[in-house]
Amino acid sequence: MILFESANQWLSFIFLFLIGFASGFIFDANKYVCFLLNKNKIASIILDCFSVLSCGIILFVAILFINFGLFRFYLLFAFVIGLCLQRITIGKMIAKLASVCYNLLTKTIKKIFTRKDKNAENN
């Protein structure tokens, strides 16, 4: 007879991998908020601590629900691999997309304000 935990190890591994992959978006959000705050060191440190703490809480809760609180090394490994894979693949694509959107937004805002300034000068 196989124990429930042993029979579903591969399923637990896949779930923690996907949860780690999804947790990578926390670090994406952290990166962009720091960018918007002009790379303020104090805000960056606080946001980094918040990101690491939230990922740790997510990992703890996921292990609690998926594996009944039994911490196994392969579950941590799956979470970290999913997190790293997200940062390497989709994280870079999101960074490029966010950069393009930010540049378009700043150019549009500059055009709007320069038009208002020209209209104010003409009147």
Q: 55-98, pLDDT tens digit by residue?
A: 999 999 999 998 888 888 999 999 999 999 998 998 888 888 88
Report the domain count for the chain.
Answer: 1
Is the model's pLDDT at 117 over the cut of 70?
A: no
Residue 108 lies in a domain: no
pLDDT the model gives residue 55: 93
Residue 99 lies in a domain: no
Residue 22 lies in a domain: yes
Q: What is the domain extent for residue 56?
A: 7-88
Rounded to two decimals, the pTM is 0.76
Alpha-carbon Rg for the chain, nearest whole angstrom, is 22
SS (H, E, C) the chain: CCCHHHHCHHHHHHHHHHHHHHHHHHHHHHHHHHHHCCCCHHHHHHHHHHHHHHHHHHHHHHHHHHCCCCCCHHHHHHHHHHHHHHHHCHHHHHHHHHHHHHHHHHHHHHHHHHHHHHHHHHC
